[in-house]
Structure 1
Amino acid sequence: MTAYRSQFDRSIEDPVGFWSDQADLVEWSVPPDRVLDDSRPPFYRWFEGGRLNTCHNALDRHVAGGRGDVTALIHDSPVTGAKLEISYADLLDRVEQFAGALRAQGVRRGDRVVVYLPMIPEVVVAMLACARIGAIHSVVFGGFAAQELAMRVDDMRPAVLVTASCGIEPGRVVEYKPIVDAALDLASYPPDTVIVVQRPQAEATLVAGRDVLWEEAVEAGRGADVSCVEVEATDPLYVLYTSGTTGKPKGIVRDNGGHAVAMAWSMRHVYGMSPGDVWWAASDVGWVVGHSYIVYGPLIAGLTTVLYEGKPVGTPDAGAFFRVVAEHRVNALFTAPTALRAIRRADPESVLVREHDLSSLRTLFQAGERLDPGTFEWAGEVLGVPVVDNWWQTETGWPIVANLRGLEPMPLKSGSPSVPVPGFDVQVLDPGGRPVASGQEGAICVRLPLPPGTLTTLWGDDDRYVASYLSEHPGYYMSGDSGYRDEDGYVFVMGRTDDVINVAGHRLSTGAMEAVIARHPDVAECAVVGAADDLKGQLPRGFVVLKSGVDRPHGEIVDELVQKVRDEIGAVAAFRVVDVVDALPKTRSGKILRRSMRDIVDGKAVAVPPTIEDASVLERIRADFAPAPTPSRPITEEGTA
């Protein structure tokens, strides 16, 4: 790992020199005079004194460089049948038009704009238009409940909210405008203007004096100054709220300068992409993946990016992803393991994969949820390309741990996203804050300062930023995930720190148990949570979803799973109870709601999280839950049945 090691070591030992060199990947109107401002730890700032514009780096410079005719954005919507290719020049024209619309509504540098849109080209246009005029955007996942939207509106106090009349899910239309109207009735600080994209699937009723159609807003803005506004590198580009929050939401603040540099560097070095490549991050712009790797990263790097309005299954079938890859000659696909598990469950024999020419595909990237060995092995065998995990968070904005395909591709290890990315000084700490030995599990933390592109604070709440991320181990960012490093330096992320359970004094990772269960040939996906137990403190309880077509008795499968965990984790795990369910409750970004499941197991009241994909799944588990049976076998000296 010579090339990797030299860059990583330099990034840790000489971060100023390292990131000074990487700053040349973007265009500055005024170069920074101080690469790292470390005068107020733990509040670090990158590229102090520098001035630039993120929209210029994503669009204008490519058009000026003669690449205006290159396709910037491919919109593919199987739920409507719409397909559209937009060149860099055309996208720039659309962004300038909407920047004029925002100008006409009085939006200026530093003002906030809330964006509540489905996966249509207007969402990309709105984000870039905000960046162009120096406004701060906050994208809220389309379809979020009114109360959740109202909280975000009150936290941001936007000048304008941009929405659509509806979003489209498989088999149903979700009307957005009634949600927006209800949210603004609840909000204490509603915007003066709501700009509405009218969609034919469900036209919205406009509120007089407040609502304006997108086309009318654009017409009103013709002639406005839409040139790029220079902003400070340290000025906020956007605020993105973390999923699953309760009470006042946590708004992650992303700056302009560090973010642009991190996006340019990661597209080239982490993902191995070059100008003209076709890149598809199969996520939603409401999540951090959509911000970093549907919009900003690929456009700053000069790629063609795919914007997909559909699902991995059901639009129309489990071959949907492969149809998009083949049709648009996608070179790299980035998706969540949960999407692959859904495809595998619906098409266990991979019949639909073989119907498409996937010769353009070089790499499959995975993130958002732990990549279990079974899914890793299945995807690699079926697609015939490297399956590359990478681990990061909404807070960091780009990978903490990855296999750097554009710097030095390394051997892939099942269960590991590979090694720390340059700039991230990853340490595994014990409860006392001391580094642990190789192979020993602990809290995964990153030594400060975090590299460019990561969160700078929480919107309007520096104290909460410190308390949430920087207080448990002073001098470190606490990721909230647990894991270990092996003797080769590879990082294994086992799950959230609160998913480590204590069974009769033994600290055990539910993620390790899930890895064992997921390898069973009949299991499509699984989750293990810790259930309160009077004798042992906690006991693990498994939930499994079986592959389509499995018709064996569930009892046989459960017995095999219990034995596999006993064989591979040990009898100390006391793993004895498994429930076969039809689906696992997940957020819209694909994360399994393990905490909610644990609360159900413990008999606690469970509030349905606003980020949930399908609340009925959680309700079915709640309704079907039965207390774990008392084991008929005696407790042995080793502490388990």
Structure 2
Amino acid sequence: MNRLLAQTAAPGMAVCLAAARRLAGATAACRAGSLGRGVRLAGMAASRGISTGQATHSKKVYLQEQLRQQSLDDPEGFWMSAQREIDWITPPTRALLTPDPTQPHKVLWFPGATLNVSYNALDRHVHAGRKDQVALIYDSPVTHTVVKYTYGELLQRVMQAATMLRRQGVGKGDRVVSYMGMVPEAIVAMLACARLGAIHSVVFGGFAAHELAKRIEDCRPKVVLASSCGVEGMDKVVAYKPLLDAALDTCAHKPDKVVVLQRRQMPGELRAGEQSWQHAVDGIPAADVYRGYAAVEANEPLYILYTSGTTGKPKGVVRPSGGHAVVLQYTMQRMYGCAPGQVYWAASDLGWILGHSYICYGPLLNGSTTVLYEGKPVGTPDAGAFYRVMEQHRVTTFFTAPTALMILRREDPHGAFRSKHDLSGVRAMFLAGERCAPEIQRWWVRHVTGTDDTGHAEHRVGTPVRTVVSDNWWQTETGSPLAGIMVGLSEDGAETAPVKYGSAGLPVQGVDLRVLRVADALDEDAEADARPTEEAAAGEVGNVVVRLPLPPGVMSTLWGADERFHRTYFRRFPGYYDTGDMGMVDADGYVHILSRADDIINVAAHRLSTSAIEEVVVEHNEVAEACVVARAHAIKGSVPVVLAVCKHHRREHTLQAVREDVVAAVRLRVGAFASVYAANVVFVERLPKTRSGKVLRKMVRAMIAALDTQVHGRGVSAACPVPTPATIEDEAAKDEVWGVLRRWAAEEKQG
């Protein structure tokens, strides 16, 4: 890593630290003085041990805050300096342009400039002498495979795939759907599309045929690339080809070509006109490959990614090429502390935004080595899988979802597997996907770093910066973080802000984050608040928004749905991007994302976040994870229902004792008004989740609503009446939870 200032700024970016500190201090004072009195969400801050008055540490202005202020005060200068780390075909002459002032959400970043993202991810590193450096490590414990690809080898494979696509008539602006799972060819396909200026849309391998068909129908691809199967466990193989066939049979749109990677675990039957990847791509001789690449305007699409949890017509987020490349390059070293040549591992899926940004594009743009892991946190083969990969491949930066930590805590609560591995090479570990409860984060810090932070509000970054465990917050729509701790700005930790448990960190470059007061009288389904927008006070929970213009790399629109784009994200709060999240900014400027806006429970006029209660529940030494949802109540409007998963080593308490402990803890930490009753604490073997590990709260809430309706009707049906979400990881989990809830409802009725 370069030293502090060189590492902080792109070439040519002059950073005046004293001036930045003055700007940050003046802005903070102005903002604090303008904040009015607000109505707190009852018990929210107290339940987290968060001070909403005086700062919990000295008001040092960290380098991250100085750079952010510079980016807001002079976005033109800031981003014109940052873009110099990208190789352009036609360099930009300006950073941003708002073509129509009446539509401030429509911003063009680096207008008129052209580049090729695939060239930036591969060719330029080969030309710079990294041809023989490892670019990609494919680690698949489920197939007992570890394969390493150098930058030169990966470039050759990408050129082969681009040649095949070009022969099928794929060119700039055409769409290609990838339905391949966690195999190297999936990354090859993404980069091959980018090379031609084609727009890829990655769909989870194993996604239901009906949902795959929706996405094919929406983006109308010229070619579909698929794997014959996916390997999702040591003994679990899922056939993809029949699902693809069923999807194509129902689609009005038919692709020109289907190419299937035949995996030895379960080859698929090819239909007329279809080809195997092995023949269509791998069979192309090196002498015949197309070595060119398209010049893509900075605001033209790189890919379409459909958001999780979508119902009805899919919502395809469109990612602009230029701004995305600039921001990913900027964050790799500064946010995540990973230099060229070092190893970056995001334990996610290519079907999610994390996989796009920080398995494929980010590490390769940076000249790092990326790990593609086809396995699970546990069971492939045991709870030491993550530690083994980090040690074996000398991972510098690790990224996963809080759910993975909950699973590890349940399976290996005392860190027995952790103790078997050397993680001294790990510089930083990051969490994203959903909010990480403080107790889960503390557990991870204790077992990974050996630092006992029990009861502390913060984790101070050590010297040198090593094994920092930080949450950060972003969305499919944004493509990169909106908040986090930028560990790469300081070698010795002096300029690195402390990690505050339960927080997503500080806002990052280009993000003018605000929290707007909740208007209780306003119908939650209203598209806009007719009254003037009021900012919340420090510690007051409200709607988390980002003031326009949004930074580079954020979605430019929704595919084929520009009006829906405006209605969904910008109409409710004019002049702001509506994140759809509820949260607060505390007195130290840290962002706390508490829940989605629809995860707020209104109990007898007290607005409570589900995560406030979940945090208290998982602190019980018998509980591994929990999910809290609202249940209708005749008098109080709604009350919480707790679904809890016990740790496998549970021995000390009966379930009834755990229920009573949970109720007592919530009364103490949140308040009696939270109305958590022992009868509404339900134990399940596992929680239903999406493939990225998010708990399917909406589905659970719908189950409880259906049960309440049926109990007062003719009886509870054995089959769950709630539709299965397209993103569910294991449909059996839905049936298991429904069975438990049926028994719970029946017992309640009898009682």
TM superposition score normalised by structure 1:
0.96
Q: 8 Å contact 2:602–2:608 — kept in the other structure?
A: yes
Correspondence 1:508 to 2:608: yes
Map 1:59-208 → 2, pairs under 5 A: 59-170=122-233, 171-208=235-272
Q: Structure 1 residue 629: deviation in Å?
A: 8.2
CA–CA distance in 1 between the matches of 2:240 and 2:747? 45
Classify the secondary structure of the residue corresponding to 1:43: coil
Q: Which of 480, 495, 519 is the aligned partner of 1:398?
A: 480
Give the letter aligned to residue 353 of structure 2: V
Q: Structure 1 residue 76: deviation in Å?
A: 0.4
Q: Structure 1 residue 4: deviation in Å?
A: 1.9
Unaligned runs of 5+ in 2: 1-60, 450-466, 490-494, 520-528, 708-720
Counterpart residue number, 1:7: 67
Correspondence 1:416 to 2:503: yes
CA–CA distance in 2 between the matches of 1:566 and 1:215? 64
Counterpart residue number, 2:424: 359
CA–CA distance in 2 between the matches of 1:79 and 1:167? 10
Classify the secondary structure of the residue corresponding to 1:369: coil
Correspondence 1:248 to 2:304: no
Q: 8 Å contact 1:35–1:46 — kept in the other structure?
A: yes
The sequence identity of aligned pairs, in percent, is 49
Classify the secondary structure of the residue corresponding to 1:406: helix
Correspondence 1:563 to 2:664: yes
Classify the secondary structure of the residue corresponding to 2:706: coil
Counterpart residue number, 2:42: none
**What is the count of residue pairs matched by the alignment?**
631
CA–CA distance in 1 between the matches of 2:381 and 2:546? 42
CA–CA distance in 2 between the matches of 1:213 and 1:465? 36
Classify the secondary structure of the residue corresponding to 1:532: strand
Q: 1:213 to 1:265 in 2, by over 3 A?
A: closer
Q: 8 Å contact 2:337–2:427 — kept in the other structure?
A: no
Q: Structure 1 residue 6: deviation in Å?
A: 2.0
Correspondence 1:464 to 2:564: yes
Counterpart residue number, 1:634: none
Classify the secondary structure of the residue corresponding to 1:48: coil
Correspondence 1:593 to 2:680: no
Counterpart residue number, 1:624: 740
Give the letter aligned to residue 673 of structure 2: V
CA–CA distance in 2 between the matches of 1:60 and 1:214? 24
Give the letter aligned to residue 85 of structure 2: L
CA–CA distance in 2 between the matches of 1:233 and 1:338? 35
Q: Which of 618, 628, 636 is the aligned partner of 1:528?
A: 628
Correspondence 1:606 to 2:722: yes
Map 1:3-82 → 2, pairs under 5 A: 3-40=63-100, 41=103, 42-82=105-145
Structure 1 runs (4+) greater than 3 angstroms displaced:
210-214, 217-222, 627-631
CA–CA distance in 2 between the matches of 1:133 and 1:630? 61
Q: 8 Å contact 1:104–1:224 — kept in the other structure?
A: no
Q: Structure 1 residue 68: deviation in Å?
A: 0.9
Classify the secondary structure of the residue corresponding to 1:128: helix
CA–CA distance in 2 between the matches of 1:210 and 1:376? 48
CA–CA distance in 2 between the matches of 1:235 and 1:596? 36
CA–CA distance in 1 between the matches of 2:694 and 2:578? 19
Q: Deviations over 1:486-505 (max 9, x none)?
A: 10010111011111111111
Q: Which of 437, 441, 448 is the aligned partner of 1:376?
A: 441
Classify the secondary structure of the residue corresponding to 1:427: strand
Correspondence 1:317 to 2:382: yes
CA–CA distance in 2 between the matches of 1:213 and 1:406? 40
Q: RMSD in angstroms over aligned alpha carbons?
A: 1.5
Counterpart residue number, 2:650: 550
Q: Structure 1 residue 217: deviation in Å?
A: 4.0
Of residues 601-610 and 591-600 in structure 1, the stretch that sits farther from structure 2 once superposed is 601-610
Q: Structure 1 residue 220: deviation in Å?
A: 5.7
CA–CA distance in 2 between the matches of 1:335 and 1:579? 28
CA–CA distance in 1 between the matches of 2:670 and 2:725? 32
Counterpart residue number, 2:469: 387
CA–CA distance in 1 between the matches of 2:395 and 2:264? 30
TM superposition score normalised by structure 2:
0.82
Q: 8 Å contact 2:401–2:431 — kept in the other structure?
A: yes
Q: Deviations over 1:268-316 (max 9, x none)?
A: 2111111111110000101100000000000001111000011111101
Classify the secondary structure of the residue corresponding to 2:218: helix
Q: Which of 323, 347, 353 is the aligned partner of 1:258?
A: 323
CA–CA distance in 2 between the matches of 1:13 and 1:619? 53
Q: 1:314 to 1:2 in 2, by over 3 A?
A: closer
Correspondence 1:294 to 2:354: no
CA–CA distance in 2 between the matches of 1:5 and 1:332? 22
CA–CA distance in 2 between the matches of 1:162 and 1:48? 32
Q: Structure 1 residue 5: deviation in Å?
A: 2.4
Give the letter aligned to residue 298 of structure 1: P
